Amino acid sequence: MTAHSNYRELFEAATHGVAKDWLPSLKIAAIEQFEAIGFPTTRDEDWHFTSVTPIAERIFRPVRSSGTSLTSDDVARFTYGQEAWHLLVFVNGRYEPSLSSFAELDAEAQVMTFSEALKEAPELLAERLGTLAPSTQAFTALNTAFMADGVVIRVPKDVVIETPIHILHLTDAHANGASLHPRTLMIAERGARMVLVETFATVGGGAYFTNHVAEVVVGAQARVDHYKVQREGGEAFHVGTTQATQERDSIYHAFSFATGAQLSRTNVYSRLLGENAEVRLNGLYALEEAQHGDHQTYVEHIAPACSSREVYKGILDGTSHGVFNGKVFVHPEAQQTDGKQTNKALLLSEGARVDTKPQLEIFADDVKCTHGATVGRLDEMAQFYMKSRGIGADRTRALLTYAFAAEVLELIELEPLKAALEGLLFERFIPPETA
Amino acid sequence: MSSQIESLVNKEYQYGFVTDIESDAIPRGLTEETVRLISARKNEPQWLLDWRLKAFKRWLSMTEPRWPNVKYGEIDYQAQTYYSAPKSVKPLQSLDEVDPELLKTYEKLGISLNEQKRLSGVAVDAIFDSVSVGTTMKEELKKHGVIFCSFGEAVIEHPELVQRYLGSVVPYSDNFFAALNSAVFSDGSFVYIPKGVRCPLELSTYFRINAADTGQFERTLIVADEGAYVSYLEGCTAPKRSTNQLHAAVVEIVALDDAQVKYSTVQNWYAGDKDGVGGIYNFVTKRGKAFTNSKISWTQVETGSAITWKYPSVILQGDNSTGEFYSVAVVNNKQQADTGTKMIHIGKNTKSTIISKGISAGHGQNSYRGQVKVLPKATGARNYTQCDSMLIGNQCGAHTFPYIEIANNSATLEHEASTSKIGEDQIFYCKQRGLNAEHAISLIVAGFCKEVFKELPMEFALEAQQLLGISLEGSVG
């Protein structure tokens, strides 16, 4: 594949002006690594069911124009009605202060854009950035090479941020044909707590490509709730990678909601480094038409007595193609591991397709690991029951589909977000004429 | 791990002995000449030689697969001997003509042909290295029109059947080891059950690798014509060797409309010593093709071999066809196994069941790798998969790699997998009831594997349980 070689040129151009002081060595190493590995192909085991050719064959340039026509009304469509949340809005990958609303945080907690962080906490960036998400994966390398803006959050020891922080990534018409490489670095120190919501959406963005990377450090006894809502435009491409490390007694909950993009891939990885840490990875994806959505999770049990819980559900309509690959790896030292994974896919139409690969790799003996996967249609008994109660076929289908999806939303602890996503699903699966 | 347990784990391979018989082997190495030589030795017709040569050419262009979750050193294909037959062979009229040394070997293995012939009613086509030397119950089978003979014999006597079905399920180009087998296969078994016949006996073959450094390349072809039924047993033990032995077999099953084939294996080849030295490399391609309303069932108990790479599969070609896979795989010491199945649903209302039980002990690494594929036209396909792993000791590993690929929305698929440690409370309970640790484990493991054992024919079920006991004795800490 030669397509990836064009990125060197783009890289030279992008780093020439603005990004000279931007951790140049990290970025140069990343572009070199990207050049060496290139885009993954379906011959790569991790990309077996997802071809990124549609991304690789195009050249997505970084967005050139600055400034935006988006208004606070546009933004309000994606804020779940929560004005009290801290809101950082990025438009086409650039921080947009005029659209953001940011209340004072606890004195010691830091929430910075990358340009602020370069001034205020360069040592933090230098020390942490790229350590959790190394450039060994092509898309991560690409992000590191091209990242132009992002958010750095540091919650110091025992500080609890009650109000959720919402990072909203929006695109507008300027993004058409361009790529965005936003980055998030989140550090929750010992005993810290926070809730982060990341939303990806568009207002007429067209065929753009979002390539997001988040690095999350969850310190001892800390708790991070991390929600990702991916509602990119129907022509868009989305690749998102979240990589977390967890120290002892920590809790990390990552929830992925994905309905957007013509081709999307969401990676969620967590490494359990300290004893008794707990990770919960949950997700829901609903695809239609010719969408392709791929979720990959990887939990690495390194320390003993950790637990991992995973529930992923997919709803596939039209000729959409869903992929799920959930890997649990248990190191020899990780005794008393307790891992549980469930993956269910609902096929609504004849053309829909799902490939799922729940994987267990276990090198310790005192463990309890299970996984379950199911694929099927709506339950015929349930449909019959509804029918016997006088409910029409269409409405039955709608209600059962909604119920299938809503079950996994129950795992969201952030009530306003749960309600908003339930609303979205309700709108989608229960059309007004039958409601 | 207590010392008592360690001593039990390190139990020697019971069947490790070498029979001292002169072997008629061709020189080491693999070239086109070798292929021609093998074919000539076996007086094969031209079409088969051509097929072998095509396979050989294809093999040269292929590379050894590296995706299985097993590690081993480079195999030198030029250092192997590709054909070895006990020298004494001439067409035999009765068992009396069989070399007494050979018969003794079988007796040591507990499969005396005479015994089996007389008592168990099992027709045994015993394979000693690469050539069949004794076939029993031929007359009985003949009455029903069943053909059960060595592959070589079938090529001569029933060329039309062999030519029609050879490579129809596993083409010579299928994979590296299947291509190698197609080029140099030495012998194997051939079974044909005519239309509507229910085979009166359980057919059984014992394989035995004997001459040192001889790769054994068995080729088995089973054809069940419309409405036929057959149950086929394959079992094996191999003598102890210090260098690795390569075994790349191919088994093809064709179940025509309404036919049923049940294939059971107990594999207990030499697994190498406790440091992983020696042992058999077992790279096997087994596949069946099931036509309308037919059923193919694989049952395997894998306790031997240093490395196992094996995926007995079913192509559910016809409507309403059924595929089953029941497996127990045990690894101990430094054994590695990457085994599982593929169920390819092509026909409508096809069903498949997968039950896999993996047991890892010592430094063993056990992987289940399975694929369930439902193609777009396979309306009403159903699959149930259950794969459980048990870990005994903290140095071993258990891995699960299921691939579930569904392209039809009327498919129903359920997959469950679990991995856990052998229950200490269960062991304690057994001990408290007066059983020793060894017996307790054997009992618990037997219970863990019950769902698979019940699929085995009676004689095999007993042998399998004993084998598990031997493989795992005391391997608990």
Based on the fold, state whether residues A151 and A17 are members of the same structural domain: yes
Task: Select from A250, A274, A298 the last residue of a domain.
Answer: A274
Q: What is the pLDDT of residue A25?
A: 82
**How far apart, in Å, do the first and last CA atoms of chain B sit?**
4
Task: Select from A274, A292, A321 the last residue of a domain.
Answer: A274
Average pLDDT over residues B446-472: 77
Which chain A residues have a beta carbon less than 8 Å from that of B405? 49, 353-355
- Beta-sheet strands, E only, within A99-164: 110-113, 150-155
Which uninterrupted H or E stretch holds A393? Answer: helix A393-409
> Are the beta carbons of B417 and A372 separated by less than 8 Å?
yes
Based on the fold, state whether residues A76 and A205 are members of the same structural domain: yes
Instruction: Report the number of distinct structural domains present in chain A.
Output: 2
Average pLDDT over residues B258-277: 84
Burial B311-332 (b: 16+ CB within 10 A, else e): bbbbbbbbbbbbbbbbbbbbbb
Q: What is the pLDDT of residue A329?
A: 94
- pTM here is 0.83
Q: Is residue A347 part of a domain?
A: no
Q: What is the pLDDT of residue B18?
A: 59
DSSP A64: -
Which chain A residues have a beta carbon less than 8 Å from that of B400? 358-361, 371
Closest-CA residue of B relative to A358 is B402
**Are B254 and B168 within 8 A, CB to CB?**
yes
Q: What is the pLDDT of residue B7?
A: 46
Q: What is the pLDDT of residue B236?
A: 61
As given in the structure block, the two tokens for residue A279 are: 């990770």
Q: Is residue A196 part of a domain?
A: yes
Q: Is residue A325 part of a domain?
A: no
Task: Give helix A24-37 / helix A138-146 axis angle, nearest 10°.
Answer: 150
Task: Select from A274, A304, A329 the last residue of a domain.
Answer: A274
Average pLDDT over residues B156-183: 93
Query: Which of B336, B390, B406, B475 to probe the A interface (max A CBs under 10 A)?
Result: B406
Based on the fold, state whether residues A269 and A390 are members of the same structural domain: no
List Cα–Cα distances, A133 to A140, A271, A278, in angstroms.
Answer: 7, 11, 20
Task: Assign B470 a pLDDT band (cuts: 50, 70, 90).
Answer: low
Q: Is residue A106 part of a domain?
A: yes
Q: Is residue A208 part of a domain?
A: yes
DSSP A22: S
Q: What is the pLDDT of residue A331?
A: 94
Q: What is the pLDDT of residue B473?
A: 59
In angstroms, rounded to a whole number, what is the distance separating the alpha carbons of residues B30 and B476?
44
Based on the fold, state whether residues A385 and A270 are members of the same structural domain: no
Q: Write the residue in B376, B404, B411 that is nearest to A357 by C-beta.
A: B404
Interface check B414 vs A, CB under 8 A: yes
Compute mean pLDDT per 10 residues along chain A, 435 residues long, and list them: 67 61 78 92 90 90 78 91 92 90 78 87 86 91 90 93 94 91 95 96 92 96 97 95 97 96 96 97 95 96 96 95 94 93 93 92 90 91 92 90 92 94 88 57
Q: Is residue A383 part of a domain?
A: yes
In chain B, positions 51-80, which contact chain A (CB-CB < 8 Å)?
Answer: 67
Q: What is the pLDDT of residue B393?
A: 83
Backbone region of residue B107 per phi and psi (left: phi > 0; alpha: psi in -120 to 50; beta: other values) = alpha
Q: ipTM for the complex?
A: 0.81
Q: Indicate the SS3 state at residue A260.
A: coil
Interface check B389 vs A, CB under 8 A: yes
**Are B229 and B149 within 8 A, CB to CB?**
no
pLDDT at residue B107 tops 80: no
Q: What is the pLDDT of residue B99?
A: 56
Based on the fold, state whether residues A392 and A256 are members of the same structural domain: no
Whose CA is closest to A184, among A270, A242, A124, A123? A242
Q: What is the pLDDT of residue B229?
A: 96
Q: Indicate the SS3 state at residue A249.
A: coil
Q: Is residue A48 part of a domain?
A: yes
Q: Is residue A296 part of a domain?
A: no
Higher pLDDT among residues A425 and B29, named by residue: A425
Spatial neighbors of A254 by CB under 8 A, at least 6 apart, are A226, A227, A228, A242, A244, A268, A270, A279, A280, A281, A282
Based on the fold, state whether residues A57 and A195 are members of the same structural domain: yes
Q: Write the residue in A350, A365, A371 that is nearest to B393 by C-beta.
A: A365
Average pLDDT over residues B152-171: 92
Which uninterrupted H or E stretch holds A34? Answer: helix A24-37
Based on the fold, state whether residues A162 and A41 are members of the same structural domain: yes
In angstroms, rounded to a whole number, what is the distance separating the alpha carbons of residues B399 and B340?
11
In angstroms, rounded to a whole number, what is the distance separating the alpha carbons of residues A377 and B372?
17
Q: Indicate the SS3 state at residue A57.
A: coil
Q: What is the pLDDT of residue B10?
A: 47
Instruction: Report the share of chain B in percent with pLDDT over 90.
Output: 41
Spatial neighbors of A387 by CB under 8 A, at least 6 apart, are A393, A396
Domain assignment of residue A412, given as a range: 379-435
